[in-house]
Structure 1
């Protein structure tokens, strides 16, 4: 095994080692909270679904990449390639859109009571099951290409004519038009929530700045110190969105590069970098949630901390 393969395997192993237990801890913490409290808030439910999608990303794609790289187990025959890439693309896009829904919900949560935006937040909370169902249907239907065109990697020059090399597999499209159309649909599916959640994050940042100035003015009048639950929740969402824009921005840039160059020049290294950066969000985001979320921290402390009156609702709080 050459050094490049070892480096590749270790990188994906690091994502698996961070992402699988991290997302599993977040999921277990919210399930425990739901068991003890009898319900999950809308923000809790969104973060729980986000962690589940991230777990599928790192558990299905990254873990299997590690096993195949070190010749421990290889599932990447034709059927395995179709299943793995389909699950990976579906869970990856779900992770993106759930982050967008979380940013919108948190943005609406800072709206003044009685306003139209506050009413929209209530409407979103009441229809979350329908939102989740729609996201599953949309992202599943937009990820069917691997079921039709994915094949196991083998030396066949015909696969490279209109295909995409993803290391252990090829996506072999019948024509360049179908390949480019599928690529454009994938980019559009990511760019739309990217632009919208960036706008929502700007609103949150403006709110945080105004809130900080107001808090400084009140501090001399005996206002409590330390970040409020509302501010902590907003900072968590802004951090998650920033990570999304960074990692998935690189991912989509590499994807556009893959579509724009001849396939003979598009090596598996570009595909490895795409998978690494898109999976990096799934591995890092649970760490952000664990560090910043009081409810998850409380569950991890096994109830050692005394119970207090519930804070203002935050993502997973």
Structure 2
């Protein structure tokens, strides 16, 4: 096996292990909070579903890509190929939807009392669970056409336009034939969610910045911006959103190239796969690094009466 294959396999394996450990650590954190009797925050439900979606993305793409890079070929049947791509796409779309929902909820939470959003603060938490379930259902239905454009590596020999992932084919001809309207709908949904994410996050950052300025004006300039809750929340939002938008944009560009090109190169395929798994791999570490409950292990929590500090 050439060195390039080992290098690519190591990259995929490292990303997969890092992502799985991060997401399962975050899920384990919530299991610990449950057994210690802590009352969950409203956003915790969104993050738990986001974590599950991230795990699906990482496992459905990272594991087969790693096996292929390390020399294993033709290890998935035609049905398995369709299932792997379907699970990956559903997980990816739920990840996008959940990230957007998380940003919108936080924007409503920190909105000033004199705005229209403030009236929704007490009502929004009860809509979180139905919204997350709706995301799963809609994305499972919307991606029902994904298996049509996927075949096993040893089938469909007379294909004029395809993307070879090493373990499966993504058949562009079939996607164009059966799913032009579907592709337009998916593109509109992705653009819509990203626009909502940018708008809500920008609104939240502006609100927190104004509040910080007011606090400094009232208490003087000696207020430490490094330790203030507003600064920590702003930093968390900026890191999570900027990571998502940058990685999602790069991943979308490479995915468009894969679809447009006839028989794209292996480098393009592997780079696109790495970018697709980047946000699911790094997001749990971003969330845990800004969750004050993680290092304290919820020691100061009163059972079922208050949120962890």
Q: What is the TM-score of this pair, normalised by structure 1? A: 0.85
Which position in structure 2 is the counterpart of 1:288? 286
Which position in structure 2 is the counterpart of 1:47? 47
Instruction: Kindly report which structure 2 residues correspond to 1:265-280, keeping only aligned pairs within 5 A, or say none.
Output: 266-280=264-278
8 Å contact kept, 2:68–2:166: no
Which position in structure 2 is the counterpart of 1:232? 232
State the distance in 2 between where 1:140 and 1:233 align: 32
The structural deviation recorded for 1:232 is 2.3
Q: Which deviations, in whole Å up to 9, do the C-alpha atoms of 1:217-256 show, x marking residues without a partner? A: 2443886765343542343233211111100101111222
Which position in structure 2 is the counterpart of 1:145? 145
Does 1:167 find its partner at 2:166?
yes
SS in 1 for 2:121: helix
The structural deviation recorded for 1:47 is 1.1
The structural deviation recorded for 1:130 is 0.9
Which position in structure 1 is the counterpart of 2:109? 109
The 1:230–1:50 alpha-carbon spacing in structure 2 relative to 1, beyond 3 Å, is: farther
8 Å contact kept, 1:19–1:55: yes
SS in 1 for 2:164: strand
Quick check: 93-102 or 76-85, which moved more? 76-85
The 1:250–1:232 alpha-carbon spacing in structure 2 relative to 1, beyond 3 Å, is: same
Gaps of 5+ in 1: none
State the distance in 2 between where 1:114 and 1:308 align: 33
The 1:137–1:190 alpha-carbon spacing in structure 2 relative to 1, beyond 3 Å, is: same
State the distance in 2 between where 1:110 and 1:306 align: 24
SS in 1 for 2:174: coil
Which position in structure 2 is the counterpart of 1:13? 13
State the distance in 2 between where 1:188 and 1:66 align: 32
SS in 2 for 1:98: helix
8 Å contact kept, 1:106–1:237: no
The 1:183–1:243 alpha-carbon spacing in structure 2 relative to 1, beyond 3 Å, is: same
State the distance in 2 between where 1:205 and 1:38 align: 28
The structural deviation recorded for 1:87 is 0.7
Does 1:201 find its partner at 2:217?
no
Q: Which deviations, in whole Å up to 9, do the C-alpha atoms of 1:278-301 show, x marking residues without a partner? A: 2100011111112111122323xx
Gaps of 5+ in 2: none
State the distance in 2 between where 1:139 and 1:97 align: 9
The 1:75–1:87 alpha-carbon spacing in structure 2 relative to 1, beyond 3 Å, is: farther
The CA RMSD over aligned residues, in Å, is 2.9
Which position in structure 1 is the counterpart of 2:186? 186
The structural deviation recorded for 1:80 is 1.5
8 Å contact kept, 1:64–1:74: no
Q: Which deviations, in whole Å up to 9, do the C-alpha atoms of 1:68-113 show, x marking residues without a partner? A: 3324696422122111111111111111110000000111111124
State the distance in 2 between where 1:235 and 1:309 align: 30
The structural deviation recorded for 1:188 is 2.6
State the distance in 1 between where 2:175 and 2:204 align: 44
Count of matched residue pairs: 307
State the distance in 1 between where 2:39 and 2:236 align: 22
SS in 2 for 1:123: coil
8 Å contact kept, 1:219–1:225: no
SS in 2 for 1:151: strand
Q: What is the TM-score of this pair, normalised by structure 2? A: 0.87
